[in-house]
Structure 1
Amino acid sequence: MNLNLKQTNKLSSRIRTAREHAGFTQKELADRVGISQTAVHKLECGRSRSSRRTVAIAMTCGVDPVWLETGQGDMVTGGGASLAMSMSPYHNEPVGALAEQAETYRVEETESPSRVPLISWEEAVNWGKSLISPRVSNWVSAIHRINPLVFALKVSGDSMEIEFTEGDILLVDPTKKPLHKQYVVVGLAGEDKCTFKQLIIDGGQRYLKPLNPRYPIIAIDEKTMFCGVVVAKFKEF
């Protein structure tokens, strides 16, 4: 997609163009990214000339982070697909590319507690893959500084007891490449919602292991979709 250069030669214009492309109001974009509406307004008016949330804004609006930050390239690449379109570490490893993108454009962690979108396990299947992000009505606060792309899930069921119990809040980072024995959130073929298990890598084989021995181990195949690595858990009272 090629846009008029005069329209997009400033970060402020590109942010406005990206927001309008996604169909968001300033408040809706602010809520999704975890900043104030005033901050979005200042960015679009040119009163703020940079933002630590550039990559998060790009991913939320479904545009290319390189274009949003620099104005170079197309606003939407790959026939409309964003970097978050496919996050499976078993297919071309775009997770690493996403992490490198965030590092390249210096996505800084917030100094104060971050607002993290609390989504459903059904929403997690398609989180970040659509050009139009789902509306977020629930948020949790992360005590520590955190990657702006992180989302939260609430544990249900007992397949991961005793380490994880019903009602625990998980913080999930979609930019991290999963490693052996880490806890991962994945979408399984034929399922309309995500699950989370411990990743086991044994030679060339990968498995999803529930911590509760009453549940079976699941073999990972080419249709398994990686959604993120669990980086923290806490409980709300």
Structure 2
Amino acid sequence: MKKINEIIGERLKSIRESRGLSQAQLAKLCGYSAASRIGNYELGERKISADDALVISEALGVSPAELMFGDRSDQVVSNYEYPLFSKVQAGAFTENSNAYTRSDAIAWIPTAKKASDNAFWLEVEGHSMTAPQGGRPSFPEGMLILVDPDQDVDFGDFCIARLHGDEFTFKRLIRESGQDYLEPLNPRFDLIPINGNCQIIGKVVKSQWPDDTF
């Protein structure tokens, strides 16, 4: 008879593979230094703690209950869809929300999050919003973020901003010593001071991994 750890490990492996992730990629998303940690979990050689279950399930886009017990009953039905745009498209469409049709979107992404009719998804590019190991929240490259241009952006919120008239960037809006900045989560990247060169496009209200269907 299989042990509990082995059953959970097999479930972890199945979910990971369904997301198209290697052990190394999942370890990186979780902030673990070695892929062998994921391997040990999958083999049932290491018990997944409650804290690790939260981290791993978040990285995989499932609930802790599904990861640990195979229980999908707490999954929320996705009732809303918003378009996924490239940054070039988003730059044009935020100037005129009537400029696009349904077919212009790269895809329409379902979510349980209700946002305004003008909301849209962007794919995270680069590593400036990947938090240090174990840090949360974190937005690794390839994650999708839902941007709502109709919501106010306050200090401490994550947002999309337009720099120098055309360049889009994803950062957190902060204020230090009376100066406003766009802050990356990755300390290897510099703060961007806001000196009249920045237009706040919208608030980031949701993040999730792409669905397997596209």
Q: Give the TM-score of the pair, scaled to structure 1.
A: 0.49
- SS in structure 2 of the partner of residue 124 of structure 1: helix
Report matched runs for 1:41-80 at 5 Å. none
- The verdict on how the C-alpha distance between 1:175 and 1:131 changes in structure 2, with shifts beyond 3 A counting, is closer
Structure 1 unmatched runs, 5+: 1-110
1:128 equivalent in alignment to 2:94: yes
- The verdict on how the C-alpha distance between 1:221 and 1:125 changes in structure 2, with shifts beyond 3 A counting, is farther
1:118 equivalent in alignment to 2:84: yes
- The verdict on how the C-alpha distance between 1:130 and 1:146 changes in structure 2, with shifts beyond 3 A counting, is closer
CA contact (8 A) 1:124 1:227 kept: no
Query: Which residue of the partner structure matches residue 228 of structure 1?
Result: 202
Equivalent-residue separation in structure 2 for 1:168 and 1:131 (angstroms): 24
- The verdict on how the C-alpha distance between 1:179 and 1:155 changes in structure 2, with shifts beyond 3 A counting, is same
1:160 equivalent in alignment to 2:134: no
Per-residue displacement from partner, 1:36-77 (whole Å, max 9, x unpaired)? xxxxxxxxxxxxxxxxxxxxxxxxxxxxxxxxxxxxxxxxxx
- The verdict on how the C-alpha distance between 1:231 and 1:132 changes in structure 2, with shifts beyond 3 A counting, is closer
In structure 1, what residue type is equivalent to 2:199? M
Query: Which residue of the partner structure matches residue 151 of structure 1?
Result: 120
- Offset, 1:188: 0.3
- Offset, 1:203: 4.9
In structure 2, what residue type is equivalent to 1:155? V
Report matched runs for 1:1-237 at 5 Å. 113-130=79-96, 133-134=99-100, 135-162=104-131, 163-189=138-164, 192-236=166-210, 237=212
Single out whichever of 166-175 and 202-211 deviates more from structure 2. 202-211
In structure 2, what residue type is equivalent to 1:148? D
Q: Give the TM-score of the pair, scaled to structure 2.
A: 0.54
Equivalent-residue separation in structure 1 for 2:78 and 2:172 (angstroms): 30
CA contact (8 A) 2:145 2:205 kept: yes
Structure 2 unmatched runs, 5+: 1-76, 132-137
In structure 2, what residue type is equivalent to 1:164? F
Per-residue displacement from partner, 1:147-185 (whole Å, max 9, x unpaired)? 222111111110000301011110111111111111110
CA contact (8 A) 2:159 2:170 kept: yes
Query: Which residue of the partner structure matches residue 53 of structure 2?
Result: none
Equivalent-residue separation in structure 2 for 1:161 and 1:125 (angstroms): 23
Equivalent-residue separation in structure 2 for 1:121 and 1:137 (angstroms): 11
CA contact (8 A) 1:124 1:193 kept: no
Equivalent-residue separation in structure 2 for 1:123 and 1:232 (angstroms): 20
Per-residue displacement from partner, 1:115-159 (whole Å, max 9, x unpaired)? 101011222223231375133242111123332221111111100
Equivalent-residue separation in structure 2 for 1:223 and 1:126 (angstroms): 18
Give the % identical residues. Answer: 33
- SS in structure 2 of the partner of residue 213 of structure 1: coil
Please give the root-mean-square deviation of Cα atoms over the aligned residues, in Å: 2.1
